[in-house]
Structure 1
Amino acid sequence: MAAFPRIALLAALCLPGLALGEPQPAAPGETYRALSSDAQSSLNNAIAAALGDSLQTAVDDFRVGTTGNGSLFYRTEIAALGATSDGPREWAQLHGESFCIAADNPQMVTVAARYGAIARPYPSSAEALIGLKLGECRVVVEDASLLENIAELPEWRRFNRLLPRLADANMQLWVAAKTSELQEKVDALQQQWHANGRLQALVEQAIDDVAFQAYVLADTLDCH
């Protein structure tokens, strides 16, 4: 899926008649970018960059995705966030309603099929959050850790009703290296990073980046 340029996003927010987040088809085989704050930044990128730095090799030597190949680095579930006053109180109330979601999220089909809801994909997690504020969907469906963090922020007090995590809708990121020798080093680092908190620090930074980008984008709503 082509990235949605930031200038186009700002135009969509500030010019009458332009809408953010029109439904867009995903490019075949495109990898989901977890906790994405913009077209370049995501947890996928952060993990690959940190591995490249630690192992003194190119970032392109690693493929970070949801395919289940390689070493499992990150696992969480999805949740949903809606308006405080009139947002859905349970997942079943999404029947016939639209939900904002980052493009290629592997649980998009699950939510649509299970609850009869209509997916509205966005180029990034941050833009999906703004779609909720613009009223383009009833809830935003995202990484539960992100939404639980967002719900506690004062700027989201009008949109802090959380639907619970779906325990059977896992979100996972795996890292596959180009060579078996490099994969062994990746596997070793995966264990170390889980133990010493390095991975959690990368996750928290990615969450902070999404929250900050959403905050910046939300400022432009005043000119809409």
Structure 2
Amino acid sequence: MKRLVLPVLIGVVLSGCATVPKQSFNAAANTHVKKVAVIAPQSVENIAVDMVSHPGTSFGLVGGLVAAADMHAKTSSYNNALGSAKTDWKSFSQQQVADELKKKGYEVETVDIRKKTDTDYLSSYPSTMADAFLDYQLRVTQLAAGPTSNYIPTTSMKVRLVDAKNQKILYEEALVSGLSSDASNQTISLSPANPQGYKDIAELTAHAQESTAALKQGIQQMAQRIASDLKK
């Protein structure tokens, strides 16, 4: 049953209710940060097809289960349509972030030290390997506001930079490219690569492969914004 519930929990990366932690990067106070280790996020096995406000969630537990089953079916249909053309979002996003940081003058190393049980930020970081660790969580979604709304290609990240020596958080932010589900407007919202999206699951599935282009562009946008925030 757990697999059915997960697709409708759109707050895994960005919550519409919880406070979004923020920490601006102070370049002048952190001149010692020259080498950054970019930690790979958890693998994204499937692109979630999701809905911010599914009508089923208004009818208690049974309605919630119906909503979960509906989104699970749509997620399966969409990912089956992608077939073997699926993108390795874990590696793609890590490389995009690394490339953008290099453009800002950082020495960058990509590492994969996250355990399968690490579903959030790591609880601690090695004191060697780099001056700081860039740790982030990634969500890749085809997201609709409601049952009659278009599905908008949406990518979101929550990210932080942690000092390797003292584990101090030097930078923390939440970003989304596409449709934001953050009612508090604390998340940095970037212009969606495909604002029109797809009118329903049938159209989305029919254009499954081309729909991933906007998701890639969204990740590139977020990587560029992170690197800009960390400019020396």
TM-score (normalizing by structure 2):
0.29
- Structure 1 or 2: more helix by fraction: 1
